[in-house]
Amino acid sequence: MSDSRVEFRAARYRSLGEPLLEWFRADPERIALIIVHDDESEETLTVRQLHLQACACAGTLRENGLRPGEIAILALRHCRELLAFFWGCIYAGMVPAIVAYKGPMTTAAAYIQRLKDHVGNTGCRLVVTLPELKAGAEEALAATGCRVMAIRGGGDGGADAPGAAADIFSSLPRSGGEDIAYLQFSSGSSGSPKGVLLSHRAILNQVQSYITTIGIKEDDKVVNWLPLYHDFGLFGGLVIPLFASIPSVLLSPFKWLRNPLFHLRLIQRHAGTISFMPNSALNHTVRFAAGRDLRDLDLSSLRLLINGSEPILYESQQEFLHSFARFGFRESALASGYGMAENTLGVSYCAGDRGNPVDWVSAGTMQSRQEALPAPPRAEGAKPNVSSGKAMENMEIAIANASGRHLPERSIGEIVFKSPSLFSGYHGDPGRTAAVLKGGWYHSGDLGYIAAGHLYVCGRKKDLIIVGGHNIHPEDLERIAGGVPGIHADRVVALGVLDKALGTEKIVMLCGLEKPASEEEQAALEKELRQRIFSRMEITPAEVRFVEKNWIERTQNGKIARPANLEKYEKLIRGA
Amino acid sequence: MEATEARTIRQKLKTYITAEIIKNAEYPLRDDEPLISGGLIDSFSIAHIAVFIETEIGVRIPDTDLTLDTMDSIDRMCARIAVAMAGPEDRRSP
Q: What's the pLDDT tens digit per position in A26-81?
A: 999 999 999 999 899 999 999 999 999 999 999 999 999 999 999 999 999 989 99
Structural domain tally of chain B? 1
Of residues B39, B51, B91, nearest to A533 (C-beta):
B39
Q: Could you give the 3-state DSSP secondary structure of residue A135?
A: helix
The last residue of a domain, from among A460, A484, A508:
A460
What is the mean predicted confidence (pLDDT) over A14-28? 93
B residues 72-91 closer than 8 Å to A (CB):
72, 91
B43–A105 CB contact, under 8 Å: yes
Instruction: List the CATH number of the domain containing A509.
Output: 3.30.300.30
B26 lies in some domain: yes
Instruction: Let me know whether A499 and A449 are in one domain.
Output: no
The last residue of a domain, from among A428, A460, A492:
A460
A317 lies in some domain: no
A173 lies in some domain: no
Q: What is the pTM assigned to this prediction?
A: 0.90
- pLDDT, tens digit (0-9, with 9 covering 90-100), for B18-64: 998 988 888 899 999 999 889 899 888 888 899 899 888 999 898 88
Instruction: Let me know whether A19 and A146 are in one domain.
Output: yes
Instruction: Let me know whether A496 and A455 are in one domain.
Output: no
Instruction: List the CATH number of the domain containing A451.
Output: 2.30.38.10
Instruction: List the CATH number of the domain containing A55.
Output: 3.40.50.980
Q: Identify from A38, A259, A506 which residue to disrupt to test chain B contact, counting B C-beta atoms within 10 A and taking the largest count.
A: A259
Integer Cα distance of A453 and B60 in angstroms: 49
Instruction: List the CATH number of the domain containing B52.
Output: 1.10.1200.10
Instruction: Let me know whether A450 and A482 are in one domain.
Output: no
Report how far Cα A248 is from the mean position of its chain's Cα atoms: 18
The CA-atom distances, in angstroms, between B29 and each of A508, A528, B22 are 21, 15, 10
Q: Could you give the 3-state DSSP secondary structure of residue A173?
A: coil
What is the mean predicted confidence (pLDDT) over A182-207? 84
Q: Which domain holds residue B21?
A: 3-86
Instruction: Let me know whether A422 and A489 are in one domain.
Output: no
B44–A284 CB contact, under 8 Å: yes
Q: Would you tell me how many other CB atoms lie within 10 Å of the CB of residue A48?
A: 17
A177 lies in some domain: no
Of residues B42, B55, B94, nearest to A261 (C-beta):
B94
- pLDDT, tens digit (0-9, with 9 covering 90-100), for A290-345: 878 898 999 999 999 999 988 899 999 999 999 999 999 999 999 999 999 999 99
B70 lies in some domain: yes
Q: Which domain holds residue A430?
A: 357-460
Instruction: Let me know whether A20 and A153 are in one domain.
Output: yes
Instruction: Let me know whether A366 and A451 are in one domain.
Output: yes
* Interface confidence: ipTM more than 0.90: no
Instruction: Let me know whether A27 and A146 are in one domain.
Output: yes
Q: Identify from A106, A327, A540 which residue to disrupt to test chain B contact, counting B C-beta atoms within 10 A and taking the largest count.
A: A540
Q: Which amino acid would we find at residue A85?
A: F
Backbone phi and psi for residue A103, each to the nearest 5 degrees, phi listed first: -75, 165
B67 within 8 A of B35, measured Cβ to Cβ:
no
Q: Could you give the 3-state DSSP secondary structure of residue A537?
A: helix
Structural domain tally of chain A? 3
The last residue of a domain, from among A416, A433, A460:
A460
Instruction: Let me know whether A71 and A138 are in one domain.
Output: yes
Is the pLDDT higher at A153 or at A502? A502
B92 lies in some domain: no
Instruction: Let me know whether A30 and A143 are in one domain.
Output: yes
A106–B47 CB contact, under 8 Å: no
Instruction: Let me know whether A422 and A544 are in one domain.
Output: no
Residue of chain B minimizing CA distance to A290: B51
What is the mean predicted confidence (pLDDT) over A516-534? 93
Instruction: Let me know whether A418 and A502 are in one domain.
Output: no
Residue of chain B minimizing CA distance to A37: B64
- pLDDT, tens digit (0-9, with 9 covering 90-100), for A344-358: 999 999 998 777 899
